Amino acid sequence: MAKKDALSAIDKQIIAWVEQLDNLNRERKEVNQRISDIEERLSSMKQARRALAAEWGDESSEIPIPLQYTSEGVTEAIHEMFMVTKADTLTVDQIVVMLKARKFDFGDKNPRRVVNMALVNDETIASDGTGKYAFVVEDLPF
């Protein structure tokens, strides 16, 4: 009888752990969606600020909003590098140099790898197959 009780207790504990994992995964998904929504709103606001600055004739090469990045915001930072430089294409090395010049915080991660992964996973960035990437803008959100 003791073995049966022990196995039953183990089964109950496993079920509880699985439920906890499911809850944590669900919570992580919700948090990631919230972060994505916030990043999208921030990007829209910065694009609107750039458009307003351009309308008022602010031709400075720097983005008129002080920006601080973490490795989590690398995609947004890359988009801004395309907009600031107005370049048709950029290489990973060019992007890394520009981000380092703007004091982008890569943490303890390899900058080339961070930028490369962001480029590969970004649906708004197109590769020409020769190591050059282009920012593809369809419609701006404002």
Q: What is the pLDDT of residue 66?
A: 41
Contact (Cβ atoms closer than 8 angstroms) between residue 83 and residue 61:
no
Per-residue pLDDT of the chain (142 residues; tens, 9 = 90+): 788 888 999 999 999 999 999 999 999 999 888 888 888 888 878 777 777 776 766 555 444 444 444 445 788 888 888 887 888 888 999 999 988 888 887 778 888 998 888 888 888 888 888 888 888 765 545 4
Strand order in the sheet with 90-91: 90-91, 132-135, 125-127
**Domain boundaries 62-135, CATH class:** mainly alpha
Q: What is the pLDDT of residue 59?
A: 56
Q: What is the pLDDT of residue 24?
A: 92
Residues shown for the chain: 142
Give the start-to-end residue ranges of the domains of the chain. Answer: 62-135
pTM: 0.49
Q: What is the pLDDT of residue 61?
A: 47
- Any residues with CB less than 8 A from the CB of 135 and at least 6 apart, and which? 78, 79, 82, 83, 124, 125
Cα angle for residues 86, 131, 125 (degrees, 5° grid): 50
Contact (Cβ atoms closer than 8 angstroms) between residue 91 and residue 132:
yes
Q: Report residue 140 as tokens.
A: 């701006």
Q: What is the pLDDT of residue 134?
A: 86
127: β partners? 133
Reference 63, options 53, 74, 55, 73; nearest CA is 53
